[in-house]
Structure 1
Amino acid sequence: MTATADNFLRQLRDGVTTTSADETRALAARLAPALPPDQTLALHGNLGVGKTTFVQGLARGLGIDAAITSPTFNIFTIHRGGARTLVHLDAYRLENDRQIESLMLEDFLASPWCLAVEWPEKIAAWLPADTWHITLAIESAGRHHVRLAPE
């Protein structure tokens, strides 16, 4: 990892405030090339904090030119076409870890991949140990806070 990427990850661990959806997307786009291969991201935060907006930025940073929307009713969507496959999972409607097994998600994780999970607490026991946990929160009107959990 380059010194610039390492510096950026350090800033993200301290927490970064964004003031628009475009800034949140740009932050995620900047994170994308710093991700290790085959990485799971757990996106924590309440409804409306910008989790899907963050995934839109990840897609842009991975070179994926697709409309990214919340996969709430489909549970997950697969986006190919960039540096790696992006799988966007919305676990909100899952009731337990066993339900994720029936989705056969592993069959769609063609290396290199990034799995971005919204509502990860619903499937916490299923998440790999090396999952990166990112918390998104609203600080005040128009100000969002994004933080990568320290390792």
Structure 2
Amino acid sequence: MFLEPGDVVYLRGELGTGKTAFARAIIQQRGSADSVTSPTFTLIETYHLDDVSVVHLDLYRIESDAQMEGIGLRDYLDGRWICLIEWPDRAPRMLPDPDLTIDLAYEGKGRSAVLIATKQLSDRADWLK
């Protein structure tokens, strides 16, 4: 897998565009047999896999920096986790720049996905070039 501990992935898009589906695919590709659901109400779900830990955050309900501090966000940004963050625009001052942004949108009867990766990440993943 091209994502490594310390990588931050922003998942952006309207409600229902597939942000959690992308997170689920990434987590399951890393070997998780756990059920991956949206952390809309729990805000954070963690997955400890054989070779990496992944945190999946949903910031839709976050209204302040104090709330971000309260959920322990900084603990997951220490370089030991792959961070998958839905609704990153809800806490822009608290988040680092992403290594990968996945922008999802409705397009006709389907959906589109635009991936924007840093050079460092795209160098690790030939298919992103």
TM-score tier (shorter): 0.7 to 0.9
Shift of 1:149: 2.1
Q: Superposition RMSD on alpha carbons, in Å?
A: 1.9
Secondary structure of 1:73's partner? coil
Where does the alignment leave 5 or more consecutive residues of structure 2 unmatched?
A: 119-129
Deviating runs (4+, > 6 A) in structure 1?
A: none
Which of residues 70, 89, 94 is equivalent to 1:121? 89
Matched length: 118
8 Å CA contact 2:13, 2:105 repeated in 1? yes
Corresponding position of 1:78: 46
Show the 5 A alignment for 1:128-143.
128-141=96-109, 143=110
Corresponding position of 1:98: 66
Where does the alignment leave 5 or more consecutive residues of structure 1 unmatched?
A: 1-32
Residue 149, structure 1, aligned to residue 116, structure 2: yes
| CA 137–77 in structure 1, closer or farther in 2 if over 3 Å, else same | same
Shift of 1:62: 1.2
8 Å CA contact 2:5, 2:53 repeated in 1? no
Corresponding position of 1:53: 21
Rounded to whole Å, the distance in 2 between the matches of 1:73 and 1:66 is: 18
8 Å CA contact 2:8, 2:97 repeated in 1? no
Secondary structure of 1:94's partner? coil
8 Å CA contact 1:132, 1:149 repeated in 2? yes
Show the 5 A alignment for 1:24-35.
33-35=1-3
What per-residue deviation string (whole Å, max 9, x for no partner) do you get for residues 32-85 of structure 1? x11243111111100000001111101111111110111111111111124311
Question: Which is richer in helix?
Answer: 1
Shift of 1:132: 2.1
Rounded to whole Å, the distance in 2 between the matches of 1:129 and 1:96 is: 19
